[in-house]
Structure 1
């Protein structure tokens, strides 16, 4: 019975080839992880009781930040700035009373995209509204909610703005 010794040169080449494959897989995994950005925010307009009416249009600065993964929402300005290009989902809701009309508009950069509103009414003591939209954004695009002149909402846990990156 003859026993042959393994060829050390062949083993070395096999190990070298496997190491190269492993390095290539690790590099590919790092590339995929770089493209994986997590972005999500959830806010509410908490301070101030009745918010409005104002003598000019205002961007609502939702001052209670519940979640701000990725840090793209600025509570001092009320503006979300897309950290990466992608498809995003946004939603906003309000609660208000009958003293004044209620209207909120969601903007992408300076373009109004969707809105929600209710007219002043003596027979309807409470107003609520909301809307949602999916938007294709480029990096640095800005999304925010504005309230037009002579409108109001209640600054409470019913008036919210949130969004997240879908893909």
Structure 2
């Protein structure tokens, strides 16, 4: 960022030197001040862009850490299964050595059956880890200059789709329809029009789960962001909506909406909440 500012200031100095070097040209203090203001605004815009990039990098790093944590939990479950398998075998051996034979021996058969079941369970866990059954991810931005005068509870349309794995996002309605049940990471960043305030919310089936706000003061823009990690059922609808007032939003790729499947579940039963 410092390098960009330095290059901008250097460009300003060269431009001013070129102007004053021309004997047949003159520049008024007012015009020079306008030029300086424009360069300062450009520097602020570059600084804002760098901030957005850093924020996205932090989100992706958070997602990567979460995926690593899930992998660690799978490893822990596998170790627990191995330990239980060993204990079951030892328990059956102990019962077999201490029991009085009064009929057909079935203990060894039960032990072999249990070992077989545990082996199949372990193989299933390994296959699920190595070959994820489903990949879902989407990311879209608003490319036009502005979304103007949106009504209350009206969807923001992020029409420029960069990623849509699983084909769950519709850029005609601004809605992500969940293709498979599971834990999802959802994120949105929305920029206000200069000198204006907006209120928006992330909704699932019309009910808000998180809200965004941006208030551009002194003629400037302001960004509101949200990230949510939630369990979603297959068929749920997710969107970013305006609410409270009839508001306007800034596009030009500053406003975005995205999500990714972290863990798939075969049914519509969410995992237990601990805490």
Common fold: TM-score over 0.5: yes
CA distance in 1, matches of 2:135, 2:160: 20
Q: 1:120 Cα deviation (Å)?
A: 6.2
Q: Unaligned regions of 5+ residues in structure 1, if any?
A: 1-23
The aligned residue for residue 139 of structure 2 is: 42
Say if 2:155 is the partner of 1:155. Answer: no
Post-superposition, which runs of at least 4 consecutive aligned residues in structure 1 deviate over 6 A? none
Aligned length: 139
The aligned residue for residue 134 of structure 1 is: 229
What are the equivalent positions in structure 2 for 1:1-167 lying under 5 Å apart?
A: 32=128, 36-47=133-144, 49-119=145-215, 121=217, 123=218, 125-148=220-243, 149-167=245-263
Q: Return the TM-score normalized by structure 1.
A: 0.74
Q: Unaligned regions of 5+ residues in structure 2, if any?
A: 1-119, 264-275
Q: 1:100 Cα deviation (Å)?
A: 2.9
On the 8 A contact 1:103/1:152 being kept in 2, the answer is no
CA distance in 2, matches of 1:99, 1:124: 4
**1:42-83 Cα shifts (integer Å, max 9, x gaps):** 100112x12122344310121000000010111111111111
Q: What secondary structure is seen at the aligned counterpart in 1 of 2:222? A: strand
Across the aligned residues of Structure 1 and Structure 2, the Cα RMSD in angstroms comes to: 2.4
CA distance in 1, matches of 2:152, 2:171: 20
Q: Return the TM-score normalized by structure 2.
A: 0.46
Q: Select the structure that is richer in strand.
A: 1
Structure with bigger gyration radius: 2
- Which structure's relative contact order is higher, taking Cα pairs within 8 Å and 6+ residues apart? 1
